[in-house]
Chain A
Amino acid sequence: MKRALCVYLPMWSIDLVRRRMVAASRGRRDRRALVLVETDGHGQRVARCCARARKAGVTTGMTLAHARALMPIDGVRLEPFEPERDDAALRSLARWAMRFSPVVAVDPPDGLLLDITGCDRLFGGDRRLVARVGEALDRLGFAHRVAAGPTFGVAWAVARFGGQARAVVADDGATEAMRPLPIASLRVADETVEALDEVGVTRVGEVLALPRSTLPSRFGAELLLRIDQALGSAIETIEPVRPSLPVSVERVFDGPATQAEAIELAAHELLGELCEKLARRESGARRVTLELDRSDLGPLALTVTLSRASRDAGHLWALLRPRLERADHGFGVERVMLQAWPIERLAHEQISRWHEGPRDQEAELGRLLDTLVNRLGQRGVTRASVVQTHVPERACRRVAATGAGTSPGVRTDEVEAPPRPPLLLTPAEKISVTALTPDGPPRRIGWSGGQSEVTASLGPERIAGEWWRRGEPTRDYFAVQDDRGRWLWVYHELETGRWFLHGRWS
């Protein structure tokens, strides 16, 4: 016997926005009235409003100015109305509701339909199930009305137009439950409702009293279909949401496997199956995890992260195999599982044997970076980007090579800085300098390369520290050539008078 459950969320958009506001303000509740505004060609109109605004007289479709006039000045909070976001949230709620039934469909804009045939045994009866759904929605903070019935039509109608917030309609009580409800509860078009209203038919009971054969010709075929669906004579199906599950394959051994070759062979075959599954879904994996259940130790997880979604078994094996070889099998491995999560859509491509374009090169570079990162670690493979600062040792920043934003910064200084040496010493080396004047260019330098006579010097270039950092000295930089042909970049700290060697050209 089919059973259906309908959840109606009358304040869905309002509740969602309130939740977001509470989360954004870290738990502080805003007690003001909330009105959601949508902007169309005619101006700004009220799309949804909360209970408090409704009490003040605000209705849907009213202009914003009118609504503002009805509400106190500082007592209303205005937020934009985002129907797509609310629909996406409703789909998430549908996935959440899969704990009550495996078949859950979204009933836009603010409802859920669940097929609970046989689920009542898990919850101890329909009443308990309805109560549980209600309590869960209470905990989430959504205003709701829940109804269970023998068909989707009855459940929908009772949830929206019935007298109680939580109702259960028995299998044979569908007709009785529907009788007092208005025509709109049959889910027919507005024109049909108006047409029936013209002839004085306002309740479902009155429609049921009319002869069946006259209904299609006078009010359209939809009315008859809806009546039949509500009373159970016609079939109604819903389109359930599908949860996104990670793609995984596993193999259980007949006892702990101790041979490394056996485990490697199993992992290799599983990888082939996984890539086939991904190909069927037309997706690629961004991260692949190989889990080994060891009999004495805990499970071991080896993860390979990719810079680009891939379902190339050869590439994945090249990344996975070194990790597997180094893994500790313990006393033996009982189960090998391979899971790909998260996955991304990766369309099928025509493989071109001969032409290698720039996109192929990018893919090739991505694979190369994956292999390098796999062995050298994320910190071992970096790019550099220029930071907007004139202080030389901070003028660059290392970023992971596979991360986003790998384009180097561009210096937009108005003054072009003199060229910097390609080799910077960190930290700068303290040297002893003899100069004609205390601030002047050096004449003789004593450093780790010995004593050098300076034959040419360029500068000075003054680089002051950043004013928001305290204690940074002002430096005068000189580029000097010594008698052996070495070009050094030395600086002189103005405050302390010390000399340092910061870089070299040769």
Chain B
Amino acid sequence: MRSECADMEGSPEAVRRHLREVIRRVEQGGSEVRLADSCVPTGWNAVDSALANQGAGAGIGGLARGAVHEWLGIGEHGTEAPSERERGWILPMSLLMHLAARAIRAAGEGEGGGRAAVWIGSRCWPSPSSFAGVYAELLGRSIFLEPRDRASRLWAIELCLRSGAIGVVVADGARLGMAESRRVQLAAEAGLARGGGGIGLLARPAWECGAISAAATRWMVRREITPGSASSHSPPRPRWSIELSRCRGSASRSGARWVLEGGDETGVVCVPADVVDRPGSAADGRGFARSA
């Protein structure tokens, strides 16, 4: 602890805050493991700065640890097509993979060992061949669960969130009631108190946007059209727009929107607002993304 205090330059206030944090952790019986952040940075700067000051950590924001975040999608651009419900829903899988990879990496910093990622529900399983490149480490740490019924699914979500060894739980959260989502949120908080600090990502279909839940944040994902014609050799660049439709504890941030684009080497990137509509944007000069 002395070395940690020495590392913190600056005001005695910062040192005091840090000491209070340590005392709180010791009193609560949590472990000595110091998580690098109390939230998982999403890697999208605009989103992170909007989510900053959410947790106790100073500086970088992100998805809070020890909490459940709902991802509703993928909805159509504009209004919802009613026939989508019969066909079944498509998850924003690339976004979930990107966030899971960030959660694993963030957990591994400073301790030398990363935590596992759990994918609950066969609908939520990404195909393993898509784990190439930046997601290769994620595949090594992924465990896939197939619960037989709804009760087992909920039980598995709670168990994994409450345990300290899981970094991220990506689960099929369709048709979750208010009580169930509250239980899941409490399990995530209990996991944080035990020193786990995993995040829960619940994927729900887009037509459940009216359902109330106890999740910390709720995001709506919609499809966007990638403008411009890419050359026939660059990888596909799907685009989504995400909207923070609900953020517990802060009403002012709700409603903000960002545009994300996938297919990059680093995963999913955030497209700045002023270049959203330019043809070939975010892909300029990339060309052969897989050359070299």
Which of A's residues lie within 8 Å of B, judged by CB?
Answer: 354-356, 358, 361-362, 364-365, 367-369, 371-372, 375-376, 379-386, 392, 395-396, 398, 401, 407-408, 410-411, 416-424, 448-450, 455-459, 479, 481, 483-487, 503-506
Taking beta carbons and an 8 Å cutoff, which residues of B are in contact with A?
A: 26, 31-33, 74, 76-77, 83, 87, 90-94, 97, 111-113, 115-116, 126-133, 136, 139-140, 142-148, 152, 155-156, 159-160, 163-166, 195, 223-226, 229-230, 232-236, 238-240, 262-263, 290
Residues on A with beta carbons closer than 8 Å to the beta carbon of B160: 368, 372
| Contact sample, A vs B, 9 pairs, CB 8 Å cutoff | A356-B195, A364-B163, A364-B164, A368-B160, A368-B166, A380-B147, A386-B128, A421-B127, A459-B232
Not counting A356-B32, A484-B225, A485-B224, a sample of 13 additional A-B residue pairs whose C-beta atoms are within 8 angstroms of each other reads: A364-B165, A375-B155, A384-B128, A386-B131, A395-B128, A401-B143, A410-B136, A418-B235, A419-B132, A423-B90, A423-B126, A458-B230, A481-B236
Pair B139/A384 contact, Cβ less than 8 Å: yes
Q: How far is the CB of B86 from chain A (nearest CB, A)?
A: 10
Closest 8 CB pairs of A and B: A358-B113, A396-B128, A422-B93, A485-B223, A365-B165, A356-B31, A422-B126, A364-B165
Known: A416-B290, A419-B133, A420-B127. A485 touches B225 (CB 8 A): yes
B143 adjacent to A506 (CB under 8 Å): no
Asked whether A506 lies within 8 Å of B94 as measured between CB atoms, the reply is: yes
- Nearest B residue (CB) for A480: B236
A266 to B58, CA, bound (A): 53
A residues less than 8 Å from B159 (CB atoms): 368, 371-372
In the complex, the answer to whether A423 meets B145 with C-beta atoms within 8 Å is no
Among candidates B32, B126, B129, residue contacting A354 with C-beta atoms closer than 8 Å: B32
A355 touches B32 (CB 8 A): yes
Are B165 and A361 neighbours in the complex by a CB distance under 8 Å? yes
Cα separation A381 to B166 with both chains bound (whole Å): 14
Contact flag A355-B239 (CB < 8 Å), given A375-B155, A376-B145? no
Chain B residues lying within 8 Å of A411, measured Cβ to Cβ, are 132
How distant is the Cα of A289 from the Cα of B233 in the complex, in angstroms? 59
How many angstroms from the CA of A399 to the CA of B39 in the assembled complex?
32
- Say yes or no: A506 contacts B132, CB within 8 Å: no
Residues of A within 8 A of B87 (CB): 448-449
- In the assembled complex, the Cα of A458 lies from the Cα of B226 at a distance in Å of 13
A448 to B83, CA, bound (A): 10
A356 to B111, CA, bound (A): 10
Q: Is the CB of A506 within 8 A of B92?
A: yes
Cross-chain contact of B127 among A361, A372, A479, A503 (Cβ < 8 A): A503
Contact B225 A455 (CB under 8 A): yes
A423 touches B236 (CB 8 A): no
Asked whether A422 lies within 8 Å of B132 as measured between CB atoms, the reply is: no
> Of B76, B97, B232, which contacts A422 at CB under 8 A?
B97
CA of A58 to CA of B160 in the docked complex: distance in angstroms? Answer: 68
Cβ contacts under 8 Å, A456 to chain B: 226, 229-230
Contacts of A448 in B (CB 8 A): 87
Asked if B144 and A505 make an inter-chain contact with CB atoms under 8 angstroms apart, the answer reads no
